[in-house]
Structure 1
């Protein structure tokens, strides 16, 4: 009787191609950058005071020391809401958000900072697009985003500057107020006022950039949607021309808030 033999089965070894290895490596790398959720930056890049530098940069640009006081919740929110206006549009592609790209920007009071109103439009037009409609859509989306952010920022700005008026009036009633405390209080009020003025100037620059871009789109790729884009830019310009907070030249102790 023939001997029956059952060979011992072993696990099949699967060869991993170089392409698969590369994909696995990329997925691990992205997992480390995103902290678990795709599209979100690592927590290393985020913290409650990640935009605190805005106040210090604004005051330093005009030779004024920054306050050492901790930020209040409204002051922190003011800086968080200011950053999307301070960051020029079209400077953060989607992939940069994945890798946690983040950088500070100089305020308008820094010397040798020259605003180029053509930069946004040239980037918008030079980037590859499927059609001229997508360029108009990008322009309108950027303007619409600014309009959407306008009210939340200035609502908080009114609140912060109104509290600063109360802070200013309270200084003379504080017992044993040290020179350092007084200086920090004044510096914080200056910071807050400068941030509001910084955003106002950025809005004016954005409107100028949007108009330049629309004018070039009209002559290079005319489309009926240009009228809608023009109306949106006009809406943003009207909001910027009449903000809830009255802007003042650079800095001052007196803070004007409209009702």
Structure 2
């Protein structure tokens, strides 16, 4: 718990990513994989690719509470993000952002309107970056699964770890997309409460920022990862005996499908040099 408190209170990095730290980069991820494994959730011990690391860093902003004054929520969210504790389908109440906003900024409405606009705009700006790295990760996952079919001597544990990593990636992308939607609803809740209490022209800026955010979030819907609810339901199913055959029989995003052995490699990917 002390590690979670220290991790949640650590300064945030640039562009919505967490600041580097031993706790956040080593201790909590290791503990999270171990705890997830005991719950029979997809937990791969394989090394992360650079894009997989970047995806997890980009996910940070969307998986943590939007306001820094949501201290208790941030501690719990960090434990959930690292999978030390099981992930609920929704963390906190929709009004939690509004409560933190009012508590931190006092009684003047102008800075409150500005903060809502800034948070919404920063989310909007990050979504294309999340989508870009998510597309690269999904493409690499497809190549990884195809590569399994061409390995001359395949250890079953290696196939299992690959399938589990693909499941982790898909569930993470579905989770980020779900939280992006929820954050927009929390901003909307705060803006409506504030406009009722202090109607003024300052509400125009956050309204425009929220409209832009609402228009950007659907660009994540085309990512082929399914919905968060299906993923959350699937992680209750034991994965410790996952094999290429069982992976092929399971739906996305929880367990990946493995192509037929005569399937060609992905376009632009060379599996072996000839």
* TM-score relative to the length of structure 2: 0.66
Match of 2:226 in 1: 248
Q: Gaps (5+ residues) in structure 1?
A: 1-32, 35-39, 94-101
**Is 1:120 matched up with 2:85?**
no
Bigger helix fraction = 2
Measure the CA separation in 1 of the matches of 2:35 and 2:129: 21
Separation of aligned partners in 1, 2:188 and 2:34: 29
Tell me by how many angstroms 1:127 deviates.
2.5
**Greater C-alpha radius of gyration:** 1
**Residues 237/112 of structure 1: CA separation in 2 closer, same or farther (3 Å cut):** closer
Cα pair 1:62 1:110 within 8 Å, conserved: no
Match of 1:230 among 182, 193, 207: 207
Cα separation, partners in 2 of 1:208 and 1:247, compared to 1, 3 Å: farther
For residue 46 of structure 1, report the CA deviation from its aligned partner. 6.0
Written as runs of structure 1 = structure 2, the 5 A alignment for 1:1-259 is 44-45=22-23, 47=25, 52=29, 56=33, 63-91=40-68, 103-105=78-80, 110-111=87-88, 114-129=91-106, 131-243=108-220, 245-249=223-227, 250=231, 251-252=253-254, 253=256
CA–CA distance in structure 2, aligned partners of residues 215 and 61 of structure 1: 43
Change (3 A) 1:193 1:43: closer
Cα distance in structure 1, aligned partners of 2:183 and 2:20: 30
**How many Å apart are 1:226 and its aligned residue?**
1.1
Matches of 2:172 and 2:123, distance apart in 1: 16
For 1:238 and 1:254, how far apart are their aligned partners in 2?
A: 32
1:220 Cα offset (Å): 0.7
DSSP 3-state at the match of 1:149: helix
Contact 1:58–1:191 (8 Å) recurs in 2? no
1: CA distance between counterparts of 2:217 and 2:31? 21
Counterpart CA distance in 2 for 1:54 and 1:207 is 31
SS of 2:78 mapped into structure 1:
coil
Is contact 2:80–2:87 with CA below 8 Å preserved after alignment?
no
Q: Which 10-residue stretch deviates more, 130-139 or 215-224?
A: 130-139
**Aligned 8 A contact 1:118 1:209 in 2:** yes
- CA-CA distance at 1:240 after TM superposition: 1.1
RMSD: 3.5
Deviation at 1:128, TM superposition (A): 3.5
